[in-house]
Amino acid sequence: MKQVQISKQRFKDILAATSHVAHANPERPTLEYIQLEVKEHEIVATALDGYQAGRIRFFYIDALIPFTCYFKPFPLKGVQDIDLITVAYDDVDKVTIITVPTENYGEETCYKFKTPEQPFPNIDKIFSDAQTHDIRTGVDPKRLISALKALTAHGSEYGRPMVYLDTKQSGVAPFIVRRVLDGDLEDEQLVLPMRE
């Protein structure tokens, strides 16, 4: 079993950046999940719903053991700020187990999520296709507000907020709203332009 420990604040940031786009979709159940990729020096959480995507990255100096797992958004309540949340992946049973310490010392709540049967969309390709930028594109304001709300969920402990808008020249390709915080966190919200 592979695992990683994440601080409560970083786990809250993961939920804030992704849970607004990961929701029930009976036609595409994979989109109900948040994908968590633990790489050698970063953790990347991603979710999408077909209209927008949320991705957040945390960068680490120490090496991590790489794995990918999936979980559905859940409320993070009753956890002290100093607690570490353990995310483990059992690659035999294909289950993600998230262990959250509770307010009561020594007690934990465990959440288990079965890996979705359908493959998760290649979000890296979607984001890379939206990397070049332009000045103008048509976007549904509700989707833009949703993306900006996710970016403002991070507190002032990360410094002065700065948001970047990246889009392609075509005006019909997705664009990215990005916030980079002190070099160790990058939150990206991808929004598809309005369809006529």
pLDDT in tens, 112-169: 999 998 888 888 877 776 665 555 556 677 887 888 888 877 766 666 566 666 655 6
For residue 24, give both structure tokens.
């029930």
The predicted pLDDT at position 173 comes to 66
Amino acid 33: pLDDT? 94
Q: How many domains does the chain have?
A: 1
Q: SS3 for 72-108, per residue? A: CCCCCCCCCCCCEEEEEEECCCCEEEEEEECCCCCCE
Q: What's residue 88's pLDDT?
A: 97
Higher pLDDT, 150 or 86: 86
- Residues 101 and 4: their CA atoms lie apart, in Å, by 15
Q: What is the pLDDT of residue 156?
A: 61
pLDDT of residue 113: 96
**114-152: b or e for each residue (b if 16 or more CB lie within 10 Å)?**
ebbeeebbebeebbeebeeeeeebebeeebbebbeebbe
What DSSP letter does each residue of 5-53 carry, written as one string? EEEHHHHHHHHHHHTTT----TT-GGGGSEEEEE-SSEEEEEEE-SSEE
Instruction: Tell whether 196 is covered by a domain.
Output: no
Cα(26)–Cα(66) distance, rounded to whole angstroms? 30
Amino acid at 77: K
Angle, helices 8-18 vs 141-151, to 10°: value is 170
pTM value > 0.85:
no
CATH number of the structural domain spanning residue 140 = 3.10.150.10
pLDDT at residue 18, rounded to an integer: 93
Q: Mean pLDDT of all residues in the chain?
A: 82
- Whole-number pLDDT of residue 45: 96
Where in the sequence is the domain holding 169, given as residue range(s)? Answer: 2-191
Whether 75 shows a pLDDT value over 80: the answer reads: yes
Backbone angles phi, psi at 29, to 5 degrees: -60, -20
Does the residue 144 lie in any domain? yes
pLDDT confidence of residue 25: 74
- Spatial CB neighbours of 148, under 8 Å, sequence gap ≥ 6: 163, 177, 189
